[in-house]
Structure 1
Amino acid sequence: MTEQRIPQGGLPRPRPKLAPINAATTTTKHEERDLLGRYRIWYTKEDRYLRPMQIGPAGIYVVGNFCDLVLVETERNPWY
């Protein structure tokens, strides 16, 4: 508790305890296909410890008549 967090009287600012957060992380798209032919698609980003974290809900898609993916169901985030 002897470290001063606010510089006073012209003292240099102390170094931060944690590494700086890189806000420009890339978003990664993940796709899984089950035996029924459905696709589960979700997106992740890395947190400050480089662990992947899910961004938003996952979507369940099926292949439509014109070979495009059609949203059937939306899964909630796993932490709800």
Structure 2
Amino acid sequence: MHLLGGSMILAGLFTRFWSLVQIPILTGAVFFINAKKGFFAGESDLLFSIIILILLIFFFIEGGGPISLDNYFRNSSTSK
């Protein structure tokens, strides 16, 4: 799910949908995976998981962007 969702977000195709699919997965990683290791452990990926979660929320709110495939398909269908 991460590989498919990440590649779609990277390409800008169905960005909001794939961000919404990834948010619960990352929320689980923040609370369950990092809670087992300990939040302040030296090898904890808590900061990385939080950064990715914040970016997913940002992409869910903002959408693709001017150079995304979503924008390309939206503008090419209206210009015809």
* Shared fold, TM over 0.5: no
Structure with the higher strand share, 1 or 2: 1
Structure 2-normalised TM-score? 0.24
User: Which structure has the larger Rg over C-alpha atoms?
Assistant: 1
**When the two structures are superposed, what TM-score results if normalisation uses the length of structure 1?**
0.24
Greater helix content: 2
